[in-house]
Amino acid sequence: MKPTLLLPLLFTAVHGWGTLGHQTVALLSQQYLLPRTISSVQSLLNDTSSTYLGNIALWADSYRREVGGEFSAAFHFVNGDDAPPPESCEIILPQDCPDGGCVVSAIANYTERLKDQHLTTTERQQALKFVVHFLGDIAQPLHTEAFGAGANNISVTFWGYTTNLHAAWDTSIPNAMLGLAPTAAITTGDSLGWANGLAAAINAGKYRRLVKGWLKYHDVQSPKAEEKAAAAWANESNDHVCDYAIVRGGDAYNGTEIGGEYYDGAREIVQVSVAKAGVRLAAWLNLVFAGETGFEGSCRS
Ligand SMILES: [Zn+2]
């Protein structure tokens, strides 16, 4: 019933969050990195600029299209091959993460490589770039769903702009949240502005009490623990497919305009998903480089 076998081909057009989403996750996470993490990460990237993680957040999306980088294309998503939404949504491992890998196994693998002092600086630098990117991708609900190739096959318009449901979640919806058109050129200032707004909600606003729960599965001691955490994040994102993104069934959205009421509900999910991804990335990197999440004992936890 679902075109599972076609997914790798169909997914070649998918980039994950667009520039705005990925940069915002990375720049938000920078605000919560511990001093030891900052120095390790900056030295690994050979970048002491104020946007060192934002600068590499999109790298994995260009690498997948380079000669030699194609192997990484499947690492940007996981095909939750459940009953067609909204009937059920669930990531079932290992069956939803085949031998070629998926975002869940890739997060575990590249976290291990990031920790491995026997690897070269170049190899560990690449691992860091993947980790920064994939912790963003896994927070996009339609990167965790097989139906309609992650809803790439569901054609929609967004305030008249022709796109598909997946791309709308990647780019059109986040851009609109900042008052930007789907095709707008994103500046670092746009991403920084969104990151600062989210940080305010995390530090003293509506997300403050949620942070501890967001870090429930944080553990970088073993590939198994890392995979367990990533699977939990993927399942959380996948839940939004059934509870919102495709809640009326795929056919109900095909050919429709989603710029009104649908957008109003989607923006809340995008907002919290990007906030969560930024916090999770910071705490993950802090565990790798400093042995603690950076949120222990603070008012935020
Ligand atoms: Zn991606």
What type of residue is 260? G
Q: Summarize the confidence of residues 66-87 as an average pLDDT.
A: 88
Q: Which of 6-10, 49-53, 204-208 has the lowest mean pLDDT?
A: 6-10
pLDDT beyond 90 at 215:
yes
Q: Of these residues, 15, 133, 218, 240, which one is catalytic? A: 133
* Cα first-last separation, the chain: 44
Q: Are 76 and 105 in contact (CB under 8 A)?
A: no
**What integer pLDDT is reported at residue 182 of this predicted model?**
94
Q: Of these residues, 15, 166, 218, 240, which one is catalytic? A: 166
Indicate the SS3 state at residue 161: strand
Q: Which of 14-23, 135-144, 257-266 has the lowest mean pLDDT?
A: 14-23
Bridging pattern class, strands 161-164 and 256-257:
unpaired
Furthest-apart CA atoms within the chain: distance in Å: 53
**What integer pLDDT is reported at residue 251 of this predicted model?**
85
**What integer pLDDT is reported at residue 72 of this predicted model?**
95
What pTM does this model have? Answer: 0.93
pLDDT band of residue 62 (cuts 50, 70, 90) is: very high
Indicate the SS3 state at residue 99: coil
d(CA 251, CA 241): 14
What type of residue is 217? Y
> How far from 156 is each of 137, 166, 169, 190, CA to CA, in Å?
21, 10, 11, 25
Domain boundary assignment for the chain = 4-290
- Give catalytic status of residue 133 as yes or no: yes
- Give catalytic status of residue 15 as yes or no: no
**What integer pLDDT is reported at residue 141 of this predicted model?**
92
For 4-290, CATH gives 1.10.575.10
pLDDT beyond 80 at 189:
yes
Q: Which residues surround ligand 1, an ion (CB under 5 A)?
A: 16, 61, 76, 137
Both structure tokens of 148: 């309609």
pLDDT beyond 90 at 145:
no
- Give catalytic status of residue 36 as yes or no: no
**What integer pLDDT is reported at residue 115 of this predicted model?**
98
Judged on CB neighbours under 10 Å (0-12, 13-18, 19+), 185 is: exposed
Radius of gyration over every alpha carbon of the chain, rounded to an integer in angstroms: 18
Q: Which of 67-81, 123-137, 221-235 has the lowest mean pLDDT?
A: 67-81
